[in-house]
Structure 1
Amino acid sequence: MEPLRVAFLGPAASFSHQAAVESFGPSASLYPKLSFADAFASVQNTEADFAIIPFENSTNGSVVQTLDLLADRKDLYKDVKVCGEHYLTVHHCLLARKDAFPSNPPDYSSITKLYTHPQAWGQCEIFLSKHFKGVERQDVSSTSKAAEIVLKTPTELSAAIASKFAAEYHGLAILAENIEDKADNTTRFLVLRNVKSERTAQITFDQVKGPVIQERSELAVPRKTLISFLLRQNAPGALADALLVFKDHGMNLTSISTRPSHRQAWRYVFFVEGQRVLTDENKEAVDRILQSLRAVTDSCRDWGTWKDQLLRAQAENGSN
């Protein structure tokens, strides 16, 4: 079989690149994409077998670009589903050109502009407030892109917030390491596949990541499910009715997010993530939830079910 084709949010040396390497190993062919939409589209049109995209950060919350694509307001990604997840501990560094700051320790006061992805600002606010009050912040498409810009703009004294991986890739100096507010700063990535792809039909994310520990029953591994829905307008208790559906079918809700629907101002798409351990009684829970949701919402969609890698790892570490 040909190597798996995996799309990630580029350019190379981004945190998404690192997550792709950790998730799929050295045998996969990795393809950087310029945008979140490009990564989704590569799976929809089967240019890629899988895509790995950031979904939420433990410090800064949901990645809205991903939620907006999951809202799929124009039905562009009908065949895309989530099939797995990956947790990446994110350590940010302050990077600059090696010839720009010869002093040790570096003089931060000479830096006139900072570049990074919007998510990174909120993850490094303590460091930024201490050293860079009033300094211009420029949003860019990824942390690796920030590093690339700093490398290619020698006319300004700028710095980037990006990873050590990006510093090594672009040949930049690390002015400060681990500048994130919390040491356990972690980003959760979702793995996407095309449900109509014959190439990935027999591949599970576990097979990609490696063999399952045999001592643990597969049924005992907790599953996560992501479902989106649009509430009926002006129906009292509509949200309560929708959420009770999950309880009635034995699914524990772990998160709720919203994004504008673009159908009408102040009307939202809800994203509900739930968790359950598979039993003979609840194997059909998702189908039953969708059936019940159709009776109390305008529309709903199942985005997939996958193994909870966080709880799985905790359980396996506890058993070792």
Structure 2
Amino acid sequence: MASKTLRVLFLGPKGTYSHQAALQQFQSTSDVEYLPAASIPQCFNQLENDTSIDYSVVPLENSTNGQVVFSYDLLRDRMIKKALSLPAPADTNRITPDIEVIAEQYVPITHCLISPIQLPNGIASLGNFEEVIIHSHPQVWGQVECYLRSMAEKFPQVTFKRLDCSSTSESVNQCIRSSTADCDNIQHLAIASETAAQLHKAYIIEHSINDKLGNTTRFLVLKRRENAGDNEVEDTGLLRVNLLTFTTRQDDPGSLVDVLNILKIHSLNMCSINSRPFHLDEHDRNWRYLFFIEYYTEKNTPKNKEKFYEDISDKSKQWCLWGTFPRNERYYHK
């Protein structure tokens, strides 16, 4: 019997760092169809509503720039929407979402200078052109500013121009198209990932041109929830990460501390905390926040899981456990 083809959504187009995260996650699976999505909301919506989609890979945070707020807000909005749909009074303040987090991936953001044609003398060949036009995503320019400045100083006789693209992967495609249309004294280049260069069969002139190396983006792997209970986590020997969101009784002094103190009582180590503002409706008060915490567990911790959940329920207004998953080994890479 033929195995089922896994269908995996990622923030497209192909060749982006999101695509690389999806490839990393499912590299040991033989039959996978990777489907680029136009936006992060589409990655969530299509997974929830299209049963032919098995997984979705979305960016969550960057080691330099912090939160990817689109992803945080989409998680927040789903918790709030689910909470509002509960009957009043609800018999529990635990929210069970329709999707869950089952894994994480880390992708180093390493930019390359890419050419549509092979340059015989590498970057030294740029001195043979009157004009060099570089294509990339607008966010990239600030990450390679020193590199581009030094390149312009190295070839003072060359005019350098920049063109914005919708993604780093698309910049390689646009570079190739423009190269075939322009005259011989103009060279088009792109700044993108090694994956994008390979995908478009382009040539890497220089690797790792970032001004600051070590920049990494973290991605979450999502799937539809199959039941209301906690997901089963394979025992890999690695620490397990738990992503939990909650709201507090805002007017109670120390309400946030009360929730966080539960982690200490149960000997659990919190590894991150973030917050996003929320409104229940257009008439709701301002300055209310939903908190995101992540904490570590091992095979037998917490010792009394049900008591831990009971304590969280007691001290928070509403809460949601999005998933428990192994800490990816790439987390420790510099």
Which TM-score applies when normalising by structure 1?
0.75
- Residue pair 1:56, 1:187 contacting (<8 A) in 2 also: yes
AA aligned to 1:282 is P
Could you list the per-position Cα deviations for residues 28-54 of structure 1 after superposition, in whole angstroms to 9, with x for gaps in the alignment? 222111111111223212331111222
Q: 1:116 to 1:305 in 2, by over 3 A?
A: same
Mapping for residues 203-282 of structure 1, pairs under 5 Å: 218=235, 220-263=237-280, 264-279=285-300, 282=302
Q: Secondary structure at the match of 1:224?
A: strand
- Residue pair 1:44, 1:78 contacting (<8 A) in 2 also: no
Q: For 2:101 and 2:38, how far apart are their aligned partners in 1?
A: 20
Runs (5+) with no aligned partner, structure 1: 207-217, 315-320
AA aligned to 1:11 is P
1:106 aligns with 2:108: no
Q: How far did 1:21 drift?
A: 1.9
Q: For 2:195 and 2:270, how far apart are their aligned partners in 1?
A: 35
Could you list the per-position Cα deviations for residues 61-85 of structure 1 after superposition, in whole angstroms to 9, with x for gaps in the alignment? 3322221222125638931100112
- Residue pair 1:230, 1:297 contacting (<8 A) in 2 also: yes
Q: 1:312 to 1:278 in 2, by over 3 A?
A: farther
Q: For 2:35 and 2:232, how far apart are their aligned partners in 1?
A: 20
Q: 1:130 to 1:300 in 2, by over 3 A?
A: farther
- Residue pair 1:111, 1:159 contacting (<8 A) in 2 also: yes
Q: Secondary structure at the match of 1:44?
A: helix
RMSD value, Cα:
3.9
Q: For 1:111 and 1:312, how far apart are their aligned partners in 2?
A: 37
Q: 1:144 to 1:290 in 2, by over 3 A?
A: farther
- Residue pair 1:36, 1:53 contacting (<8 A) in 2 also: yes
Q: 1:98 to 1:82 in 2, by over 3 A?
A: same
Mapping for residues 1-320 of structure 1, pairs under 5 Å: 1-25=3-27, 26-45=30-49, 46-73=51-78, 75=81, 78-95=97-114, 97-98=116-117, 104-106=124-126, 115-116=136-137, 118=139, 120=140, 123-124=143-144, 126-127=146-147, 138=164, 140=166, 142-152=167-177, 160-196=190-226, 218=235, 220-263=237-280, 264-279=285-300, 282=302, 284-285=304-305, 287-310=306-329
Q: For 1:295 and 1:143, how far apart are their aligned partners in 2?
A: 47
Larger Cα Rg: Structure 1 or Structure 2? 2
Q: Secondary structure at the match of 2:59?
A: strand
- Please, which moves more after superposition, 3-12 or 177-186? 177-186
Q: For 1:228 and 1:121, how far apart are their aligned partners in 2?
A: 35
- Residue pair 1:219, 1:277 contacting (<8 A) in 2 also: no
Q: 1:312 to 1:35 in 2, by over 3 A?
A: closer
AA aligned to 2:302 is N
- Residue pair 2:62, 2:216 contacting (<8 A) in 1 also: yes
Q: 1:236 to 1:7 in 2, by over 3 A?
A: same
Q: How far did 1:229 drift?
A: 1.4
Give identity over the alignment, percent: 32
AA aligned to 2:172 is A
Could you list the per-position Cα deviations for residues 55-113 of structure 1 after superposition, in whole angstroms to 9, with x for gaps in the alignment? 2233333322221222125638931100112233332113455499x973536995677
Q: 1:21 to 1:247 in 2, by over 3 A?
A: same
Aligned length: 295
Could you list the per-position Cα deviations for residues 119-156 of structure 1 after superposition, in whole angstroms to 9, with x for gaps in the alignment? x5665465467669x9878473x432343344445689
- Residue pair 1:116, 1:160 contacting (<8 A) in 2 also: no
Q: For 2:150 and 2:258, how far apart are their aligned partners in 1?
A: 47
- Residue pair 2:112, 2:194 contacting (<8 A) in 1 also: yes
- Residue pair 2:123, 2:206 contacting (<8 A) in 1 also: no
Q: 1:95 to 1:227 in 2, by over 3 A?
A: same
Q: Secondary structure at the match of 1:48?
A: coil
- Residue pair 1:96, 1:173 contacting (<8 A) in 2 also: yes
Q: 1:268 to 1:181 in 2, by over 3 A?
A: farther
Q: 1:284 to 1:13 in 2, by over 3 A?
A: farther
Counterpart position of 1:317: none
